[in-house]
Amino acid sequence: IAARPGSHKMRCLFRVVFMPSSAAELAQRDLAALDYLYMQCCNDVAQDRFAPELQPDVALRLAALHIHQHALAHNLSPAKITVKSVE
C-alpha cells in the first residue's frame, strides 16, 4: 500500500474487531494489544460510536477505569484523586 501512487494521502487504520473472551488472558498473552483495545473502546465512547447501545453503568465503569489509569500515569494516589486534578 505504501508504494502506491498517492499513498501519502492514505491512512491505515487498525481496529480490534473480535473481542477476546477474557481480558485477563489477553493481558497475559499481549499487554500491548489489551492497551490498544482499551484505547479503541475509550475513543469509540468519546466519539459516540456506540452511544445508543452503551449502558450507563458500563460508561461509568469505563470512566472510573480511565480516571484510575490517569492517576497512575501521573503518579497520583488513586485514593486521593479529585476531579480538579484530573482536569
Euclidean distance between CA atoms 43 and 36, whole angstroms: 11
End-to-end CA distance of the chain: 40
Contact 16, 36 (CB under 8 A): yes
Three-state DSSP string of 40-80: HHHHHHHCCCCCCCCCHHHHHHHHHHHHHHHHHHCCCCHHH
Domain boundaries, the chain: 1-54, 55-87
Q: What is the pLDDT of residues 10-42, one digit of tens each?
A: 887 788 888 888 888 988 999 889 888 888 888
Cβ neighbours for 55, distance < 8 A, ≥ 6 positions apart: none
Q: For residue range 41-82, what is the model confidence (pLDDT) as tens digits?
A: 888 877 877 666 777 787 778 777 777 777 788 887 767 776
